[in-house]
Structure 1
């Protein structure tokens, strides 16, 4: 049990066991906390990730540190983080306290210098983010908002918005969700049944696209609404 209690001369296999335990622990924590921690990555999520990484990483670099204490502390912090995020879902007051609010840095085409200073955002950083949003002309911008996750979202003035089929009174085919029917030569029968087709129909579609065998297909998807097929060979 030296891998758990620790020792100055901890053998290599004990480090390997610790690595597996810590990996599985982090995997479970991420699953319990949900996708929010990985996708939105609010400031509180960033703080949590740094602390957890520091706590559970110490036993992997120092063999004389017991494993139980760091895992217990990490579990407590994960529980507190989960509690705060859940409370924020149900209470607007707690949400405003825990999470940062969006900051409008461009309002009706005017750069808000006071808000820029509040956000610690330089003009150079703002211009870079605008370019990343495919906006190079400042006169096209109506609003720019610094979101809680650190990204800037841009709302253009109406006259600079891209035309849509609705603006031109055009009827277009609605797009649906592409279902994977073949992946690396294997049929996904569940998705095939979901769209109401069988293997024979699938083989016919493959033949129409110039393929002879399902094993020759790397990826085949079909739009559930329009029926459009995408196919790519090995």
Structure 2
């Protein structure tokens, strides 16, 4: 007697779906063990693509009882073997690794935002500021480097303790919190909505002159926090 849960049937009984679910779960468990342990936060685009494809292939037999189980499992096994082979070659061959894995890209260098790198990565300033805040740094003046890693996350390297003296280190009373920074100039253009909260256009021109700039369009990004401290990045 042909096994319906394996070959598929138009009216597959409930027990057939249960057996299929058990087989698929066991299969995925084995695949994860074969591929090795992965950290969710370090999954690269190739791992993500593999997960999507495998989920789509072996998910169909769980939703449709008419689809035979052998075909999707065979296809999933082939995809797993290819993925494992590419991962092994990338581990042994650094040149090939650069093909299947993106190199880290520097977004902030020596405290300055690299405009060309933002355009290359299709990353907006707002997204960069959000990711930096998620790393626990709202003050851009404290950042030495920000790097877009191969897994799509942004890592932040702060300036050394010698460069960033704190009131505590100088035995001074604690300073008030700097608060949330507001963007006054973005890509050489004034953000008037934010400027109206802190000053006028003439006041802004005086401040950028104090910072050593002649024109507003010479500045890529200028922010001010609630403590009145500026951060700027040249165009």
CA contact (8 A) 1:30 1:37 kept: no
Separation in structure 2 between the aligned mates of residue 160 and residue 148 of structure 1, nearest angstrom: 30
Distance change (3 Å), C-alpha of 1:37 and 1:21: farther
Instruction: State the number of aligned residues.
Output: 164
CA contact (8 A) 1:8 1:64 kept: yes
| CA shift digits 1:131-186 (9 cap, x unpaired) | 111111111111000111111111111147889xxx9xxxxxxxxxxxxxxxxxxx
Distance change (3 Å), C-alpha of 1:99 and 1:86: same
SS in 1 for 2:108: strand
| CA shift digits 1:15-54 (9 cap, x unpaired) | 0000000000000000000013755210000000000000
The one of 122, 145, 166 equivalent to 1:120 is: 122
Aligned to 1:23: 25
Question: Normalising to structure 1: TM-score of the pair?
Answer: 0.67
CA contact (8 A) 2:111 2:143 kept: yes
Separation in structure 2 between the aligned mates of residue 8 and residue 51 of structure 1, nearest angstrom: 25
Aligned to 2:6: 4
- The runs of 5 or more residues in structure 2 that have no matched partner are 170-235
SS in 2 for 1:136: coil
- The runs of 5 or more residues in structure 1 that have no matched partner are 168-234
Matches within 5 A, 1:28-177: 28-36=30-38, 38=40, 40-159=42-161
CA contact (8 A) 1:37 1:45 kept: no
SS in 1 for 2:106: strand
Aligned to 1:199: none
RMSD: 1.8
SS in 2 for 1:96: helix
Separation in structure 1 between the aligned mates of residue 109 and residue 73 of structure 2, nearest angstrom: 47
Question: Normalising to structure 2: TM-score of the pair?
Answer: 0.67
Aligned to 1:218: none
SS in 1 for 2:65: coil
